Structure 1
Amino acid sequence: MTNLIRHIILLLIAASGFTARAQQGFYVPKKGKVYFAGDTATIFSNVVNEGKLGVDKKAVVNFKGKKWTNGTDALITDEGNKGEDALGVGGVIRFNGTNSGRQQLDGGYNAATRSGAAFANLDIQNRYGVELIGSTTKVRNSLHFSAGNVYLQNNTLVIGDSNPGSITGYDSIHYIITGSSGTGLLVREHIRSRDNWVIFPIGTDDNAYTPVAIRSHSTQGDDYHARVSDGVKKDLFTGNDLKDQGVNKTWEIGKRTYPNTGEADIALQHLTADEGSVFSANRRCAYVSRYSGAGWDTSHPQDYPVRGWLTAGAALANSGVNTRTVRSNISSASYFTKFTGKGDTAGVLTHVWLNGYRLDYNTVNVYWTTKPEVKIKYFVVERRLSNESVFKKRDSLPSQAVNGYSNTYLNYTLNDANKYTGISYYRLRLVDFNGDYAYSDTIAVGGKPGGFQLLLWPNPTARHFYVGVNGAASVKYIVIWNVLGQMIHREPVNERSIIPMSLWLPGNYLVGFISNSGQLLETKKLVVTGD
Structure 2
Amino acid sequence: MDSLQQRTTAGYFSAHSTAIRTISRPLAGGRQLATTCDSYFCTRIRSPLPVTWVDVTGQRLSENQVKITWETATEVNNQYFEVQRSWQATEGFETIATVPGGHTSSRTLRYESIDANPFAGITYYRIRQLDTDGSYSFSKVVSVKGYEQVLAVRAFPNPAVRQKITFQLSGLKAPQAVAVELYNSRGMLVYQRKDQPLSDDFQLEVDPTAHLAAGFFFVKIRTNTQLAQASFVLLP
Q: TM-score, normalised by structure 1?
A: 0.21
Max Rg structure = 2
Q: Which has the higher helix share?
A: 1
Which structure's relative contact order is higher, taking Cα pairs within 8 Å and 6+ residues apart? 2
Q: Which has the higher strand share?
A: 2
Q: TM-score, normalised by structure 2?
A: 0.44
